[in-house]
Structures are given as C-alpha cells and as structure tokens.
Amino acid sequence: MTKVSGCVLCEGAGGRLVFEAPAFRVIHAEEAGFPAFYRVVWNDHAAEFTDLSPVERATCMEAVATVEQCLRDHLAPTKINLAALGNMVPHLHWHVIARYEGDTHFPAPVWAAAQRDRDAGREAAVHAQLPAAEAAMIAALSKRTS
C-alpha cells in the first residue's frame, strides 16, 4: 500500500471509522453543524481520481453511491452534496454530506459563510438516526467488498 509521510489521510483514519475495506474506508467526520458528514477515503495515496485504474474508479464510486443511498434512505435529507476537492489534503477522498433546508449554510456549500444559526434540535434528530444509516452502509459495503 502506498503511503506518504506527512499526509493526514495516510497516517490516520481521518475521522471516526465506520467501515474499512482493502481499497477504501468510510469515515464520519466531526464537522460542526453537519451531523451527517462522511468521507470515502481511498486507502492508497493518490492525489487525483484519474490516478486510479478504471476498476479502482468503479470501486470508489460504488462506495460513494452506497454511502449516499444509505443517507438518503435513513435520513431523508433535502440534498446530498458530493465533492472531491483535495486542495488542502491532496489524498483522494470524497465528501458525502447530507444537507437540509435550514442548515447553517444551505443552499450554499458547507465551506461557505454561515447564513443562519445552528438548530441544535434538528442536528440532534439527525445524529440520532446515524446508527441505522451506518449499519446499512456497513451491510451494503460488506456485500460489495466480500
């Protein structure tokens, strides 16, 4: 497995580990105001999506789609945001973020300026649903990677 010294995603999980397969892992990121913020992290150090082979790209995107579908099924968000930026951490990872009307930044990206105060009740309600969404992710990803 290719690792790069000093890369935070090579040297650590990058958040609370939800699922790990040989090629990728799914983590829950602690991002204030966004209780359903996940990342699909490619385990080998790669900076760009096209650094992966076609088979690896399909594996990666299937994992992203699985995480998205589980969030949709269990959390019923207004929208799911997908992003693979890598400007700050040039290690391939996809953000999979359940978004809701009325979250602090909606409809702007989570990295934009806040437009309103946080709703602790809504965030707690979403957080309470995460175990079921994560159990579904684990079951679905386990089937695909076994």
Overall fold of domain 8-145: HIT family, subunit A (3.30.428)
Rounded CA gap, 139 and 141, in Å?
6
Give me the mean pLDDT over the 88-108 stretch.
Answer: 95
- Record the pTM: 0.95
Q: Is 70 helix (H, G, I), strand (E, B) or coil?
A: helix
| pLDDT, the chain, mean | 95
For residue 81, with 0-12 CB atoms within 10 Å meaning exposed, 13-18 middle and 19 or more buried, which class applies?
Answer: middle
pLDDT at 100 over 80: yes
**Span 105-124, pLDDT tens digits:** 999 999 999 999 999 999 99
